[in-house]
Amino acid sequence: MPELLDERVGFVRRIGLFQATALNMSQMCGIGPFVTIPLMVAAFGGPQAVIGFLAGAVLALADGLIWAELGASLPGAGGSYVYLRQAFQYRTGKLMPFLFVWTAMLFIPLGMSTGVIGFVQYLGYLWPDMSQGQGDLAGIVVTVGIVVLLWRRVENIARLTVVLWTVMIASVALVIVAAFTHFSPERAVSYPAHAFELTTSHFWIGFAAGLTIGIYDYLGYNTVAYMGAEIRRPGRTIPRAVLSSILGIMAIYLLLQIGTLGVVRWQEMLDPHSTASTSVASAVLERTWGRAAADTVTVLILITAVASVFTGLLGGSRVPYDAARDRVFFHPYGKLHPRHRFPVLGLLTMGAVTATGFLLGRHTDLATIIQLLTTVMVIVQALAQVAAVTVLRRRQPGLRRPYRMWLYPLPSVVALAGWLVIYGYADANSPGRHPIEWSLAWVAAGVVAFLLWARHEKEWPFGPKRIDERYLHGADPDAERLAGEEGGPAGAEGAVGAPG
């Protein structure tokens, strides 16, 4: 009974399908496409950059099917932490979940810092005389403000997210409509010579860079999986939210990319002093509907940027919580706010790293930050989760799987190939930055930290492996929710924070 009582004072399942999809789409879209269209054009050297968004969509769908199966089967707080803990505990104890939390505390807030960088870029359109120092201060103020907004109960946040999601849809829709009212097919397909020479290394280096930028733009389809302990009927809701958000954002991105290329010459996007390079969506509105419309939509884009960082920190702050409760991370991260029931230290830490990453990106460049965070994410999270699906099917064949991956194992193979391309070409696309070496160094430091922790806690390899099969033997959260809807006790409590 103590374990059950402990779970019931944890998270409560209050987020439904529409709110879950809104959370995902707000995080996926956000400021991403508004700042990366010029980066994608630079990677490919022309309007064939649309290939990058298509390739990113394929990888996102393949990886999304992995998240859908794992999220439906293991709906706990922390997402990947839960999946890697359950899959790899039989051979390496708590090493893999520890390494995931170690890397996630870096790559998740670094991803959020790119949203703040984009916010300041578009703020520069409305404030053309903004200095470097003023831009830095504006980004820090925005980051602190978002943390303050998240200092409340999750059901109130979910309602606020729906409002932010509506603003996001409006801003993207206005840019797309404006672009296609003044669309030039000739401009959109003005390919340079040798644009599609597949036999050259130049094309494939550009493709790998474009794939990295593309998947960065789609990242966020896993946001609800990090909040698995707060999702109603997770076996149905998580897969639907993941796949629906990917398909919806894919359509939006393609329209946005093609429409933008039909209004703004791609050569202008390569000029760092051009508005088309720093605020391409504002440039589209200015050239189609005039300056007043451009200013209005830029304000909406700023709100969209805030929404993406808001939802990212909301989901990311849950990652260290479950690890700390399982004694795989520092104990203070396992505490919830006594009144509002959110992880206090996780939110504060990720807010601080977001601010630091923002300042780093402001004084280097956005493409480098994207490359670094993606490389760190791939080596532990992405590649390990591809393996986790197969490992769990073999190790826990009796695990409830409300959703099973379509065409298994094909999506796993496609995802594996995509992630290896991104990782393998990382150094070539960031000359002088060495993202592969930095990612290996960070993971190596994590292994050292794990060994020190394991020795102190007497965990494997300095103690016995502690096998946890709570999801294999615990209550079904979907059935529990249905019982609550019929008037049972679960309806009064909400469902438990995680199956026990």
Evaluate if residue 460 carries a pLDDT over 90: yes
Question: Which of 32-36, 167-171, 428-432, 435-439 has the largest mean confidence?
Answer: 435-439
DSSP 330-346: -GGGGPBPTTT-SBHHH
- Residue 286 maps to a domain: yes
**Angstrom distance (rounded) from CA 430 to CA 422:** 12
Q: For residue 222, what are the contacts with CB-CB under 8 A and spacing of at least 6?
A: 24, 64, 67, 71, 79, 80, 242
Provide the b/e sequence for 46-83 (b: ≥16 CB within 10 Å).
Answer: bbbbbbbbbbbbbbbbbbbbbbbbbbbbbbbbbbbbbb
Q: What is the pLDDT of residues 201-225, one digit of tens each?
A: 888 888 999 999 999 999 889 888 8
In a domain, 489, yes or no: no
Q: Is the pLDDT of residue 337 over 60?
A: yes
494/80: higher pLDDT: 80
- CA angle in degrees (0–180, nearest 5) for 443-449-455: 140
Look at residue 470 in the predicted model and tell me its pLDDT.
87
In whole angstroms, what is the distance from residue 230 CA to residue 315 CA?
A: 10
Q: Is the pLDDT of residue 5 over 90?
A: no
This prediction has a pTM of 0.85
**End-to-end CA separation in angstroms for the chain:** 10
Question: In Å, what is the CA distance from 214 to each residue of 66, 80, 343, 481?
Answer: 18, 21, 31, 37
Which residues are CB-contacts of 319 (< 8 A; sequence separation ≥ 6)?
A: 78, 79, 80, 81, 101, 104, 105, 108, 226, 346
Is the model's pLDDT at 499 over the cut of 60? no
The per-residue b/e assignment along 290-315, b for 16 or more CB within 10 angstroms, e otherwise, is eeebbeebbebbbbbbbbbbbbbbbb
What is the total count of domains within the chain? Answer: 1
User: Per-residue pLDDT averaged across 427-447, rounded?
Assistant: 90
Confidence check: pLDDT of 181 > 50: yes
Is the per-residue pLDDT at 439 higher than 80? yes
pLDDT tops 70 at residue 3? no
Structure-block tokens of residue 211: 């794939």
Give residues with Cβ within 8 angstroms of 307, minimum separation 6: 26, 30, 161, 164, 165, 167, 168
Cβ neighbors of 486 (< 8 A, separation 6 or more) are none
In a domain, 242, yes or no: yes
Residues in a beta bridge with 269: none
Question: 216 lies in which domain range?
Answer: 2-467
Residue 55's nearest CA partner among 63, 66, 46, 67 is: 63
- pLDDT average, residue stretch 466-493: 62
CA distance 448 to 441: 11
Q: What is the pLDDT of residue 154?
A: 60
The answer to whether the beta carbons of residues 303 and 160 sit under 8 Å apart is no
Q: What is the pLDDT of residue 332?
A: 80
Summarize pLDDT for 215-258 with one digit per residue, the tens: 999 988 988 888 888 898 999 999 999 999 999 999 989 999 99
Would residue 483 count as lying in a domain? Answer: no
Q: How far is CA 176 from CA 65, 118, 257, 312, in A?
A: 28, 19, 9, 25
- Reported confidence tier of residue 10, pLDDT bands at 50, 70, 90: low
In the prediction, which pLDDT does 153 show? 64
Mean pLDDT of 394-423: 95
Mean pLDDT throughout 332-342? Answer: 77
Residue % of the chain over a pLDDT of 70: 92
pLDDT band, residue 498 (cuts 50/70/90): very low
Q: Is the dihedral of CA 355, 342, 331, 104 positive or negative?
A: negative
> What stretch of H or E contains 17?
helix 17-28
Q: What is the DSSP letter of 192?
A: P
Residue 165: pLDDT over 90: no
Each residue's pLDDT tens digit, 84-139: 999 999 999 999 999 999 998 999 899 899 999 999 999 999 999 999 999 999 99
For residues 38 and 3, which has the higher predicted lDDT (pLDDT)?
Answer: 38
CB 350 within 8 A of CB 380: no
Q: Is there a domain that residue 488 lies in?
A: no
335 falls within a domain: yes
Compute CA distances 446 → 106, 441, 449, whole Å.
Answer: 12, 9, 5
480 confidence band (pLDDT: 50, 70, 90): low
Residue 486, domain member (yes or no): no
pLDDT, residue 158, reads 62
Q: How far apart are CA 59 and CA 55, in angstroms?
A: 6
- pLDDT recorded at residue 474: 77
285-294, 299-308, 315-324, range with greatest mean pLDDT: 285-294
- Round to whole Å and give the CA distance between 378 and 151: 30
Mean pLDDT, range 427-445, rounded to an integer: 90
The pLDDT, as a whole number, for residue 156 is 59
Helices (H), 396-497: 410-424, 426-429, 435-457, 470-473, 477-485, 489-493
The pLDDT mean for the chain works out to 86
Under 8 Å between Cβ of 322 and 104: no
Q: Please answer whether residues 433 and 372 qualify as being in contact, where contact means their C-beta atoms are separated by less than 8 angstroms.
A: yes
DSSP 318-330: THHHHHHHTTSS-
CATH code of 150's domain = 1.20.1740.10
- Asked whether residue 500 is assigned to any structural domain, the reply reads no
Per-residue pLDDT tens over the stretch 343-373:
888 899 999 999 999 998 888 888 888 988 9
> What phi and psi, each to the nearest 5 degrees, are found at residue 15?
-95, 120
- The whole-number pLDDT of residue 226 equals 81
CB 83 within 8 A of CB 74: yes
Residue 491 — pLDDT band, cuts 50, 70, 90? Answer: very low
Q: Is 465 helix (H, G, I), strand (E, B) or coil?
A: coil
